[in-house]
């Protein structure tokens, strides 16, 4: 618990700043609440919130039984709202204390348990005949607590069944008093009326006869109708200006009324239009150094000023019709600390269920959190559970206050007024955040052609002309990817994160794709800077794809939502959330070679990295070997954490979660948790067994298994799925477009070395389309490896991305066919049982089919001879 209660404060300690200054000696104070009575009397105690529970515990140990002035303080850890450990209230100011109830006993419903049980057993259809229940309803019919009790048990209609005039008889009701006043003799009424008459009127009344109608005509007093004044509105008044200062601006005895709803504004009323026009001449005069602006108040403004609470009532009525948490799944969270992070809110609420949206507003001027947020759960029942469990709990020294969140306004679409194109754009923007809609390696072929034509100083027509235009574009795209890869590596981007489908996505880094050729970095900054403060903007020389980093995730979400599929120049923008840990930590890009390192030093470092990578190629960490480490000392570094865990086994990587220091730009602060990734599961189990609860730099560590996908995991997954250990010189090329031919595949791969053969199996005997995959074999392993590394990243042929894998030396068409059949027909026994009922002989058909395919493959081998001899 990070909140404490301080009792027996002196009377002079009723200043929040004074109390905060005293308790800030121990840690960061997030909240100070001093308690007062309804009349403003200080009750000599208060609540103080700290940033962490450790700081609150230190404050209790340090300040308890110490003196503040001449008063001895009593400091304890505060209890959460509704907690079972909360002590019973005893003060006469506490509504739930017995002393308060004794003083205000007339305000409380004091039903005995017998009466409560009788009311609980009643149903909506049963009638009330018990005299005890009738008496209780008569007595407490107007009490809010009693009404709430009856509503909770579905008995609100029973209160109406007992007539209001059937009172207990102890006190006369208002109706009875009115009846008594009506039934009084006429003389009494006349006497009361005569006291309001003048002597002359009284004599006239006596002369004409004291009829009740005549008396009513004379005595009847009605409020005079409200006179409409000629009003003006004054703005930009000094905050210290009062009504006397406003009166001095105008002529004496002309001002009829002055109203100042808030500082800086005033409404002045005049009896005549002439006086108002004289007042308007004072426009743009000065008062206390401020230039005043005086305008005539319109009728609408008069109505608004005369009925100020109207708009608030409208909002209250609108909120009454809002959906409950159990229906919408949205929770409005307020009274949060201004230092709380989005990750903390996510961690606090995600334990109850998956969160689909977290609105975390940031003030644009101060760059600080506003102190409230809105959490939307995927399932409304999870939101209800979070509301029940977290309302009134303590987070960073502040008591959370949870309310039902207001549902988002969904604009109604007019199907007749919108065309198909606009509807399609709206659908694309709605699906922009879906991961299945993303293609990380997308490059626009038109932009590729423009970039290549500009780079080699040739026309775009020359690039796209000829029979081998598809191969030329594929090689151009491959070259752009290679150049972009080198540039991104030099600027602190971890490319391994892009090679597989990422389980975790960044919250503040956006990939911007489908940019027109020759796009510049200032253009990207101008486009995104309007939504918030930018971190790094990385744009390769080709200018086709960019990486934009925001400082605040909330501003990144706003930019993503607004700019996805919007038109930039003449092309729509394709946005995607970058994989987690895409950028290295640090504010500035880590550009290699900017400090003037010699070529020998660079080459030595490159050789060292290559040797280390070659050693690690054969060692692949096992899956599910990541360990989550909690409660790390803020001074603990990754090296300290590695030394602490390395006795359990070989470690692949160690990461300590960090965040930027808002007070010191460029400095990273530890967040108190991290991850240790082992190579073997046995090492992780040993760490859980031996180091659970171990102490590191004064902090007791908490360990548990983690499913987090670290950057090392992504690289290793790439090695397992695509980049297997090289077994030879043969490569399988999948996802080949059906319009591509054997010569185009040959031309594509021959640029990386001398080929031994290219084989493109066909479906039918002799002629027919190919099967969508090919075998390419090089003469040397070096050439094969270079082709795999270059073309395996992102190469598109006729718009389809080529998928490259290492092939076993014994792989041929029959092996591929068998593996494919095994993949789609795992249960051969069940299949044979289903086919046994037929009369068709499947085995004979399979043999004939295989024999025909083998003959076709032999024909393909004959056709390859001419290709291998040089068909250029």
Is pLDDT of 317 > 80? no
- Token pair of 495 as six digits: 């490319």
pTM above 0.85, yes or no: no
**Is 191 domain-assigned?**
no
Is pLDDT of 586 > 80? no
pLDDT tier, 851 (very low <50, low <70, confident <90, very high otherwise): very low
Closest CA to 63 of 75, 50, 49: 75
Is pLDDT of 839 > 60? no
pLDDT tier, 374 (very low <50, low <70, confident <90, very high otherwise): very high
Is pLDDT of 107 > 50? yes
pLDDT in tens, 259-283: 887 778 888 888 888 888 888 888 8
**Is 190 domain-assigned?**
no
What integer pLDDT is reported at residue 484 of this predicted model? 73
Quote the number of domains for the chain.
Answer: 7
Would you tell me the crossing angle of helices 186-194 and 212-219 to the nearest 10 degrees? 30
What integer pLDDT is reported at residue 862 of this predicted model? 42
Higher per-residue pLDDT: 555 or 454: 555
CA distance 237 to 287: 7
What integer pLDDT is reported at residue 689 of this predicted model? 83
**Is 195 domain-assigned?**
no
**Cβ neighbours of residue 145 under 8 Å, at least 6 residues apart?**
108, 109
pLDDT in tens, 337-358: 888 888 899 889 988 888 988 8
What integer pLDDT is reported at residue 319 of this predicted model? 63
pLDDT tier, 204 (very low <50, low <70, confident <90, very high otherwise): low
Q: Which residues pair with 629 in a beta bridge?
A: 674, 703
Question: Are residues 365 and 269 both part of a single domain?
Answer: no
Instruction: Work out whether the CA dihedral 475, 479, 481, 485 comes out positive or negative.
Output: positive
pLDDT cut 70: percent of the chain above it: 61
Question: Are residues 473 and 568 both part of a single domain?
Answer: yes
Question: Are residues 861 and 737 both part of a single domain?
Answer: yes
pLDDT in tens, 550-584: 988 888 888 888 888 888 888 888 888 887 777 76
pLDDT tier, 613 (very low <50, low <70, confident <90, very high otherwise): very low
**Cβ neighbours of residue 338 under 8 Å, at least 6 residues apart?**
30, 368, 369, 370, 371
Flag the least confident range among 304-318, 327-341, 438-452, 765-779. Answer: 304-318
First to last CA, the chain: 77
pLDDT in tens, 241-251: 888 888 888 87
511 neighbors 440 (Cβ within 8 angstroms):
yes
**Is 239 domain-assigned?**
yes
What phi and psi, each to the nearest 5 degrees, are found at residue 536? Answer: -105, 140
CA distance 149 to 262: 41
What integer pLDDT is reported at residue 260 of this predicted model? 84
3-state SS, residue 810:
coil
**Is 28 domain-assigned?**
yes
**Is 753 domain-assigned?**
yes
CA distance 270 to 279: 9
Higher per-residue pLDDT: 37 or 166: 37
Is pLDDT of 612 > 50? no
The most confident of 149-153, 240-244, 455-459, by mean pLDDT? 240-244
**Is 411 domain-assigned?**
no
Average pLDDT, the chain: 72
Counting Cα atoms < 13 Å in the Cβ hemisphere of 863 gives: 16
The most confident of 359-368, 604-613, 705-714, 843-852, by mean pLDDT? 359-368
Is pLDDT of 121 > 60? yes
Question: Are residues 749 and 847 both part of a single domain?
Answer: yes
Is pLDDT of 373 > 90? yes
Counting Cα atoms < 13 Å in the Cβ hemisphere of 242 gives: 1
pLDDT in tens, 629-663: 888 988 898 889 998 998 888 888 888 888 767 66
Question: Are residues 726 and 851 both part of a single domain?
Answer: yes
What integer pLDDT is reported at residue 258 of this predicted model? 87
The residue out of 308, 339, 374 marking a domain boundary is: 308
Which H/E stretch holds residue 548? strand 546-550
CA distance 192 to 186: 10
Question: Are residues 430 and 546 both part of a single domain?
Answer: yes
Q: How confident is the model over 90-107, as a mean pLDDT?
A: 66
What integer pLDDT is reported at residue 12 of this predicted model? 87
Higher per-residue pLDDT: 306 or 678: 678
The most confident of 108-117, 131-140, 703-712, by mean pLDDT? 131-140
Quick count: other Cβ atoms within 10 Å of Cβ 55? 19
CA distance 536 to 525: 10
pLDDT in tens, 496-548: 666 555 567 788 888 888 888 778 888 899 899 888 888 888 888 777 788 89
CA distance 380 to 320: 19
Distances (CA, A) of 579 to 26, 227, 467, 522, 559: 40, 69, 39, 24, 17
Counting Cα atoms < 13 Å in the Cβ hemisphere of 53 gives: 7
CA distance 632 to 434: 35
CATH of the domain at 730: 3.30.70.330
Instruction: Give the position of tokens 């009506």.
Output: 182
Higher per-residue pLDDT: 505 or 382: 382
Is pLDDT of 207 > 70? no
Instruction: Work out whether the CA dihedral 149, 150, 156, 158 comes out positive or negative.
Output: negative
279 neighbors 232 (Cβ within 8 angstroms):
yes
CA distance 333 to 346: 12
Question: Are residues 808 and 862 both part of a single domain?
Answer: yes
Is pLDDT of 718 > 60? no
Q: How confident is the model over 678-706, as a mean pLDDT?
A: 87
The residue out of 287, 308, 329 marking a domain boundary is: 308
β-strands 702-706, 626-630 pairing: antiparallel
Give the full edge-to-edge strand order of the sheet including 774-778.
755-759, 774-778, 730-734, 803-806
pLDDT in tens, 44-85: 899 999 988 898 898 898 999 999 888 999 999 888 776 667
- Give the ranges where 286-324 is alpha helix by DSSP (H): 299-306, 310-320
Question: Are residues 27 and 135 both part of a single domain?
Answer: no
Question: Are residues 698 and 637 both part of a single domain?
Answer: yes
What integer pLDDT is reported at residue 226 of this predicted model? 55
What integer pLDDT is reported at residue 372 of this predicted model? 92
Is pLDDT of 311 > 70? no
Question: Are residues 142 and 115 both part of a single domain?
Answer: yes
Question: Are residues 491 and 508 both part of a single domain?
Answer: yes
Is pLDDT of 109 > 70? no
The residue out of 77, 96, 117 marking a domain boundary is: 77
What integer pLDDT is reported at residue 814 of this predicted model? 62
Is pLDDT of 682 > 80? yes
CA distance 782 to 803: 19
pLDDT in tens, 805-821: 888 765 565 666 666 66
Higher per-residue pLDDT: 767 or 303: 767
Is pLDDT of 438 > 60? no
CA distance 787 to 749: 7
Quick count: other Cβ atoms within 10 Å of Cβ 657? 16
**Is 414 domain-assigned?**
no
812 neighbors 818 (Cβ within 8 angstroms):
no
What integer pLDDT is reported at residue 332 of this predicted model? 92
pLDDT tier, 321 (very low <50, low <70, confident <90, very high otherwise): low
Question: Are residues 384 and 459 both part of a single domain?
Answer: no
Is pLDDT of 125 > 90? no
Domain extent, residue 262, equals 230-308
């Amino acid at each position: 618990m990070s909140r404490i209660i301080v009792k027996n404060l002196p009377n002079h300690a009723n200043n929040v700043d004074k109390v905060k200054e005293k308790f800030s000696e121990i840690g960061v104070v997030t909240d100070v609440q001093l308690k007062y009575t309804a009349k403003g009397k200080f009750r000599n105690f208060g609540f103080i919130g700290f940033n962490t529970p450790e700081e609150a515990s230190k404050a209790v140990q340090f300040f308890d039984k110490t003196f503040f002035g001449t008063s001895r303080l009593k400091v304890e850890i505060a209890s959460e709202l509704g907690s079972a450990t909360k002590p019973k209230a005893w003060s006469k100011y506490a509504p739930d204390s017995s002393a308060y109830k004794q003083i205000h006993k007339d305000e409380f419903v004091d039903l005995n348990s017998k009466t409560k049980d009788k009311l609980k057993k009643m149903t909506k259809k049963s009638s009330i005949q018990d005299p005890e229940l009738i008496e209780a309803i008569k007595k407490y019919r107007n009490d809010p607590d009693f009404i709430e009790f009856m509503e909770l048990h579905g008995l609100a209609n029973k209160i109406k069944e007992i007539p209001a005039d059937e009172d207990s008889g102890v006190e006369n009701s208002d109706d009875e008093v009115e009846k008594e006043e009506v039934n009084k003799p006429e003389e009494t009424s006349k006497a009361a009326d005569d006291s309001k008459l003048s002597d002359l009127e009284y004599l006239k009344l006596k002369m004409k006869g004291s009829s009740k109608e005549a008396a009513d005509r004379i005595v009847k007093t009605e409020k005079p109708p409200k006179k409409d004044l000629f009003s003006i509105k004054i703005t930009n008044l000094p905050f210290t200006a009062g009504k006397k200062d406003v009166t001095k601006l105008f002529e004496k005895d002309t001002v009829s009324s002055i109203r100042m709803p808030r500082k800086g504004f005033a409404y002045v009323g005049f009896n005549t239009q002439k006086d108002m026009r004289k007042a308007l001449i004072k426009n743009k005069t000065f008062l206390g150094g401020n230039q005043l602006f005086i305008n005539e108040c319109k009728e609408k403004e008069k109505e608004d000023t005369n009925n100020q609470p109207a708009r608030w009532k409208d909002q209250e009525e609108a909120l009454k019709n809002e959906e409950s948490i159990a229906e919408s799944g949205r929770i409005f969270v307020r009274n949060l600390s201004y230092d709380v992070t989005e990750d903390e809110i996510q961690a606090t609420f995600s334990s109850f269920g998956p969160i689909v949206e977290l609105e975390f507003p940031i003030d644009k001027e101060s760059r600080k959190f506003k102190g409230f947020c809105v959490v939307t759960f995927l399932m409304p029942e999870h939101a209800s559970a979070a509301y029940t469990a977290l309302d009134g709990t303590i987070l960073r020294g502040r008591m959370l206050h949870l309310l039902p969140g207001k549902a988002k306004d969904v604009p109604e679409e007019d199907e007749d007024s919108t065309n198909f194109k606009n509807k399609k754009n709206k659908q694309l923007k709605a699906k922009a955040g879906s991961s299945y809609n993303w293609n990380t390696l997308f490059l626009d072929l038109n932009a590729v052609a423009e970039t290549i034509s500009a780079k080699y100083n040739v026309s775009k027509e020359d690039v796209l002309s000829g029979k081998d235009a598809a191969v030329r574009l594929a090689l151009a795209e491959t070259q752009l990817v290679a150049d972009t890869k080198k540039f991104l590596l030099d600027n602190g981007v971890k490319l391994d994160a892009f090679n597989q489908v990422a389980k975790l996505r960044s919250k503040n880094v956006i990939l911007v794709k489908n940019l027109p050729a020759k796009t510049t970095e200032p253009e990207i900054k101008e486009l995104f800077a309007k939504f918030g403060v930018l971190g790094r903007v990385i744009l390769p020389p080709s200018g086709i794809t960019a990486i934009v980093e925001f400082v605040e995730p909330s501003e990144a979400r706003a930019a993503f939502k607004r700019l996805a599929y919007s038109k930039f120049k003449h092309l729509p923008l394709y946005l995607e959330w970058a994989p987690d840990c895409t950028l290295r930590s640090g504010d500035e890009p880590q550009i290699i070679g900017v400090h003037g390192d010699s070529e020998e030093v660079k080459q030595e470092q490159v050789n060292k990295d290559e040797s280390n990578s070659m050693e690690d190629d054969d060692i692949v960490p096992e899956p599910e070997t990541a360990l989550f480490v909690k409660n790390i000392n803020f001074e603990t570094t990754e090296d300290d954490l590695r030394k602490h865990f390395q006795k359990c086994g070989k470690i692949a990587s160690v990461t300590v979660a960090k965040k930027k220091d808002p007070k010191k730009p460029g400095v990273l602060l530890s967040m108190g948790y991290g991850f240790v990734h082992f190579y073997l599961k046995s090492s992780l189990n040993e760490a859980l067994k031996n180091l659970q609860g171990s102490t590191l730099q004064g902090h007791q560590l908490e360990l548990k298994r983690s499913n987090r996908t670290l950057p090392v995991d992504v690289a290793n997954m790439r090695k397992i799925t695509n980049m297997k250990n090289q077994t030879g010189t043969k490569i399988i090329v999948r996802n080949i477009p059906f319009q591509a031919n054997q010569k185009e595949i040959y031309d594509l791969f021959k640029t990386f070395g001398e080929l031994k053969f290219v084989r493109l199996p066909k479906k039918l005997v002799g002629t027919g389309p190919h099967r969508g995959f090919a075998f390419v074999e090089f003469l040397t392993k070096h050439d094969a490896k270079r082709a795999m590394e270059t073309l395996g990243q992102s190469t598109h042929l006729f718009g389809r991305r080529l998928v490259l894998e290492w092939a076993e030396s014994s792989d041929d068409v029959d092996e591929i066919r068998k593996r494919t059949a095994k993949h789609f027909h795992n249960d051969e026994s069940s299949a044979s049982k289903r086919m046994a009922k037929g009369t068709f002989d499947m085995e004979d058909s399979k043999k004939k089919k295989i024999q025909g395919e083998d003959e076709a493959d032999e024909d393909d081998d004959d056709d390859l001879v001419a290709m291998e001899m040089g068909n250029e």
